[in-house]
Amino acid sequence: MEQTHSTAIADTVWTNVNLITGELADQGLVTAKNQSVVVKDGRIMAIFDQSSGAALPQAERIIDGEGGWLSPGLIDCHTHLVFAGNRADEFEQRLEGVPYETIAKQGGGILSTVIATRSASEEALLKLALPRLDALIAEGVTTVEIKSGYGLTLNDELKILRVAKQLANHRPINISTTLLAAHAVPPEFKGKADQYIDLVCNEIIPQAAEQQLADAVDVFCEGIGFSPAQSEKVMQAAKACGLGVKAHVEQLSNLSGAALTAKYQGWSADHLEYLDEAGVKALAESNTAAVLLPGAFYFLREQQLPPIDLLRKYQVPMALATDFNPGTSPLASIRLMMNMGCTLFRMTPSEVIAAVTANGAKALKMEESRGIIKEGMAADMVLWDIQHLAELAYQFGPQVIKQRMVNGQITGSGAHV
Ligand code: NIG
Ligand code: FE
């Protein structure tokens, strides 16, 4: 399958590939048959239509795609991958009928993970996060967003972000980090949420920015999280420090958190089951991505569906992510999310592919560099062993990856990456 050449000008040339560009047009995904893709210095240098007869540049490595489909590397744009402990006990309680919100109010939920995470060292957290990340990598993920949010002190939040960034030293992966100090009111601030928000805005956000540990800031705007007024302070502090704005909104109720996120030109508004038309319009106007999280919807056995038709109507970019976390989505499979995007949310296979490529990149403000196969973009690509594009959403489990490339480096195939 591979040949090598000595007088090289390009690093890698993929030949005989059918491209899934990642972009979505009116007719569905933009694709192109019989293409060659030239990679140099970690970027896509050129794309040739093979029928043009143009001579390919010489390269260190030629990979014959044998007519397979080449897509952008998948992007999981919303995870809580770094934490200790698990919440299988709460899973059992919920199966017996205790609601998620009741468990949270009784000091379980997010706070039980906070206790376990605070007492874990960076080494321990790294060790716990690696197999979770490996599960995503084995499915073709090349970029992962990781949130803090299980520390809720300055030191513990920064500890989680440091671990998240370190993962890129251990695996071939791009990591985007998000500070989610406003995830829950920590036990020592019980009844003093406003004071905790002051700490988040005056110390934790500025420190995370100064130490370059976070690309964005997130907030859980919800009855069991923070009010819109508190959330707005967090967004203002994020902006003041030059960080992106993201928010968990409209998951369990409608507090108009999406419109608030849009007001601060948020990168994304996430969950959105209770989003209304005014919120959809606000997202469209601010070009904020809608991140849909079918894993949490499924795992909490929610009934309220996100307004997919309205998001389509107003052309809000829809992304999908695992929301991997111990409480509401212990599901480290982006392919499962693609399947659920179709079966639970009635998205099309084309929409779910765009949702984990081009639109995932939008949710991380990476659309200028990742998520699409185009000249000048980072060379993050996956060669799939599939005949039909819908196969990517249709099945999960058996791995159908032939090759995975991250920033121009081939990182192996199948589960052994
Ligand atoms: O995205 N909604 C808030 N945060 C997580 C849940 C965290 C947890 O229960 O540990 C979510 O669903
Ligand atoms: Fe989340």
Residue 62 dihedral angles phi and psi, to the nearest 5°: -115, 130
**Cβ-based neighbours of 29, under 8 Å, separated by 6 or more:** 20, 21, 22, 23, 350, 353, 354, 389
Q: What angle do CA 354, 356, 358 make, to 5 degrees?
A: 50
Domain ranges of the chain: 10-72+372-413, 74-363
Classify domain 74-363 by CATH architecture. Answer: Alpha-Beta Barrel (3.20)
Residue 1 has pLDDT above 60, yes or no: no
**What whole-number distance in Å separates Cα of residue 206 and Cα of residue 240?**
9
Residue 7 has a pLDDT of 54
* Phi, psi for 91 (deg, rounded to 5): -60, -45
Lowest mean pLDDT among 4-18, 115-129, 292-306, 389-403: 4-18
How far does the centroid of ligand 1 lie from the alpha carbon of residue 356, in Å?
20
Q: Tell me the whole-structure pTM to 2 decimals.
A: 0.96
Domains 10-72+372-413 and 74-363 share a fold: no
* Mean pLDDT across the chain: 95
Provide, rounded to the nearest whole percent, the portion of the chain with pLDDT above 70: 97
Query: Is pLDDT at 326 greater than 70 in this prediction?
Result: yes
Q: Which residue among 76, 110, 299 has the greatest number of ligand 1 atoms within 8 angstroms of its CB, and so is best to mutate?
A: 110
Q: How far is the CA of 372 from the centre of ligand 1 (A)?
A: 29
- Beta carbons within 8 Å of 214's beta carbon, 6+ residues apart: 148, 161, 177, 178, 179, 208, 243
Structural tokens at position 142: 């090349």
For ligand 1, atom 12, name the residue with the nearest CA.
328
pLDDT at 180 over 50: yes
Q: At the topology level of CATH, where does 10-72+372-413 sit?
A: Urease, subunit C; domain 1 (2.30.40)
Question: What digits encode the pLDDT tens for the residues 143-164?
Answer: 999 999 999 999 999 999 999 9
